[in-house]
Chains A and B, each alone.
Chain A
Amino acid sequence: MKILSPLRIANEVAPLLAAGADEFYCGLVPPGWKKKFGDAWSNRRHPDAAGVPNEEALAEILAAVGSTPVHVALNSLHYPPGAVEMLAGFGTHLLQDVGVSALIVADTDLLLALLEAGHSGKLHLSSLATATNAASCGFFRDMGVARVILPRHLTLAEIERCMIEGLDYEAFLINDGCVFEEGLCATTHAAGTFCLADGDGLKCMPARVLDQYGFWKWIQNNCGCTTSRGFPLGPCGLCAIPKLQAAGVRYLKVVGREASLERKSASVKLAAVARDIGQNGGDAQSIKEAIIALRGGATLCSESRACYYPDLWPDQRRGAV
C-alpha cells in the first residue's frame, strides 16, 4: 500500500520521503487566477495557507521528488464562469509540460473537459464527488477516471462493496475530519469554517445530544492540539489498514496540506509504521498498540472516538460517543 503525503514546498520532500511517503499531492493556483476570479478557490484548500506558492515552486518539488508521483488537486466543488476552461488548459499544461502524475478533480464539468482533452487515465476522482457505491465508481471508471478517492463517511463494509475491477482506490487515513459529507457541503471555507458553529443555535434539541455533537466536532477538528510527543490527534484510520488492504484499497491519504512540516512528517511516520505492521501480517490490535506507544493519546482510541472506520471495532460500552 502507498502512502500519500500532502506538501507545499520542495524543502518538505526529503523529510516526508524519509518519514515514509510514497506519493505526494498538493494544490496549485493557475497564474492569473486571482486577477480573474478573485477569492474563488481553484481547489478545496486555502490557496495561500495550503497551496504550492507558484509553478516555479512546483518545478522545484518535481526536481526533488525524483520518480515519486506528484498529484495536483483541482478539486473545488464549483467554479465561477470561465474557470473550467482555464483549469482544463492549466491541467493539460501540468500533465503534459510540467510532469505532474495526475490531477484530482471533483467538478463534473472540469472532469469532462479534461477527459475531452485526452487525459483519461490521469484523473483521480476527488472524495468531493461522493462515489459511494460500485455502480457510481463504475460510471466514473468508464468515463476514464483512474482512481477514486473514497469519501470519508463510509464504513469498511461499504468500502468493500465499492470495489470493482479496473479502478484504483484511495482512502482517508489520518487527520482533518469533516462534519458534513464534504461533497454535500455547499458552504465555503473562504467565509470561515461553517460547521464549527453548526448546532450551537439549534432549538429544541436535547442538551446531551448537542454536547456530544460538540465533542465529536472537536475531534473532527483534530482536538485542537497534538500529543506531547508532537503527533496529531483527531480522525484516524490507521488500525483499519489490514481491512482496507484486504478490501482492495491501495492508496492511503494523509490529510493536511496546510499543516506544518512537523505535523505532516509525524502523520506520515504514523501512517508508515501502521502500514508496515499491516503489510507484515499485523492485525488491527497490534497496530493500535504500536501507534499508542509511539503517539500517546490512548484515551482517544479507547472507545473508537476518533476512528475514521469505527466499524472495525466492536462496541465497547453503551453510550460511547
Chain B
Amino acid sequence: MGWGSDALRDVYPDALLTALYFGSEFCQELLPGSSDTETFCAHCAARSLEAVLLTPIVTHKGLGRIDRLLGSLTDRGWFPAVVFNDWGVLELIRKSYPCLPLRMGRLMNRGLRDPRIAMRAIGPGGENTARGAGIRKLATSLGVCAVESDADLEPGYLGSGDDGLERALHVPFTFVASGRNCLEKAAFASTSGGAFTRGLKSGCTAPCRGVYRREIRPDTDKQLWRAGNTLFFTAPQEWISRHLALADRLVFHQQPMP
C-alpha cells in the first residue's frame, strides 16, 4: 500500500508507541460496544498507553450510543480521550463527562483532499498555519487539548503549536469523501434494494469491518481505497512530509478504515 509501517520506521526509527486509537470517525454503526471498549482501555492501561476513542458525526441515535458508552466506561473507572468530529459530541462530553480529554478530529478540518489535484506549493512564509486559527481558538476555549488531521492539500491546519493544542497527523490514508449511502452495506443487504434510497433508515451489521477495496479512476494516479462508507487515498510521501513538521503525534493506520 505504499507508505507503510516500514517507511514510518525509516522516518521515525525511535518513535515510541504512546497511544492506541479505536472506534470510528466515519460511521456511527461502527462505534464499539462497552465491553469491547473496556477491553481496549484495559489493554492500553496494561501497557501504559493512552486510550483514544474515535467518534464520528452522529444523529441522535449515535449520540445516544456514545452517551451510553461513555457512561458505562466512566462508571467502571475508564477515562479514554475522545476524538470528536461533531459539535454535538463535544457538547455531550463537556456537559456530562468533563473528565474526559477531548481531541478535535480530522473531519473538523474541511480542507480540500481532492485526489485529482496537486498539493499547493509552499508559500513564501512557509506553511499557512493561520488556516484554522479560528476553530483552534474556539477549541482551546472549550477545553479541547488536541487537534487532528490527515494530510490535506494545504498543510497548515494543525497550526504552529502556539495555541497549546497537541497536533496529531493521521497517516498514510487521507479521506476523500464519506456519507451514509454505503456500498458495503448495499452489498450485504438482505434485499438488494433500498441500500441507497431507503438505506438511511435500515440497520447495519457492519460487514465492512476489516474490508477495503481498491478503486481505480482515470482522473487520478493516487491509490484509492473504499472502506465502508468512505473513500480514502494513500497520501503521497511528499504530502505527508510537508505535514510532519507540524505534527506532535502520528496516528498510523495499517489499513484504510472508516
Contact = CB atoms under 8 A, between A and B. Distances in A.
Contact of B117 (A140, A188, A216, A307): A188
Contact of B196 (A108, A162, A216): A216
Interface in A156-174: 157-158, 161-162
Contact of B178 (A84, A106, A184): A184
B197 A321 contact: yes
Interface string A212-238: 110010010000000000000000000
A284 interface: no
B194 A320 contact: yes
A77 B110 contact: yes
A318 interface: yes
Interface stretch (A1-9, A54-62, A175-183, A246-254): A175-183
Nearest to B134: A109
A187 B187 contact: no
A237 B226 CA distance: 30
A208 interface: yes
B78 to A, nearest CB: 22
Interface string B137-162: 11000000000000010100000000
Interface centre among B61, B112, B191 (most CB of A within 10 A): B112
Interface size class of B (residues with CB under 8 A): 35 or more
A153 B117 CA distance: 27
A42 interface: no
Nearest to A320: B193
Interface stretch (A16-24, A189-197, A286-294): A189-197
Given A81-B128, A109-B133, A203 B215 contact: yes
Given A136-B91, A186-B114, A187-B114, A202 B226 contact: yes
A193 to B, nearest CB: 11
B10 interface: no
Interface in B88-106: 88-92
B180 interface: yes
B86 interface: yes
23 contacts: A108-B108, A109-B133, A133-B62, A135-B89, A136-B91, A140-B87, A153-B200, A158-B59, A181-B179, A181-B180, A187-B113, A187-B177, A199-B215, A202-B183, A202-B215, A203-B213, A209-B195, A307-B197, A311-B201, A318-B191, A319-B192, A320-B191, A321-B197
Interface of A: 77-78, 80-81, 84, 106-110, 112-113, 128, 130-140, 153-155, 157-158, 161-162, 178-181, 183-188, 191-192, 194-195, 197-206, 208-210, 212-213, 216, 219, 304-307, 310-311, 315, 318-321
